Amino acid sequence: MRIRVSDGSREIIFELNDSSAARSLYEQLPLTLETENFSSNEKTFYPKKLDVSDTPLAKSGGRGVLAYYEPWGDVVMFYDSFSPNSSLYELGKASRGADEIENLSGEIKVERLED
């Protein structure tokens, strides 16, 4: 499963893992919503609640990791390193455009990429 996140001038392609949370996100697409800055290492957006039943924790990495923070219900696009958290689940990783995550702003489109 591959998805594209775009704000009209920047584009990031993510390869999703085969977890229930990643499938839950994929099934909601396409989405058009606002992206928000959080902290100094991530951009976030808010889909409907994702099922994390068999989803691995996001244990390490940084730029390009796509994750879901269950308590707040937000999808997180990391553009710098982060600390592991027992409520942060990995959805996938950027295969292209990871350097653009930090510059995303305003309304974004999140859509499926068909193979």
Is the model's pTM score more than 0.85? yes
Q: What is the pLDDT of residue 33?
A: 96
Q: What is the pLDDT of residue 61?
A: 79
pLDDT digits (tens, 9 = 90+) for 41-84: 999 999 999 999 999 999 877 899 999 999 999 999 999 999 98
Identify the band that residue 87 occupies on the pLDDT scale cut at 50, 70 and 90.
very high
DSSP 82: -
Rounded mean pLDDT, 90-97? 98
**Which residue matches tokens 């099934």?**
27
What is the full DSSP assignment across 11-75?
EEEEEE-SSHHHHHHHHH-SEEEE-EEETTTEEEE--S----TTPPB--S--TTEEEEETTTTEE
Q: What is the pLDDT of residue 115?
A: 66
Please name the residues in contact with 21: beta carbons below 8 A apart, sequence gap of 6 or more. Answer: 50, 51, 52, 55, 68, 89, 91
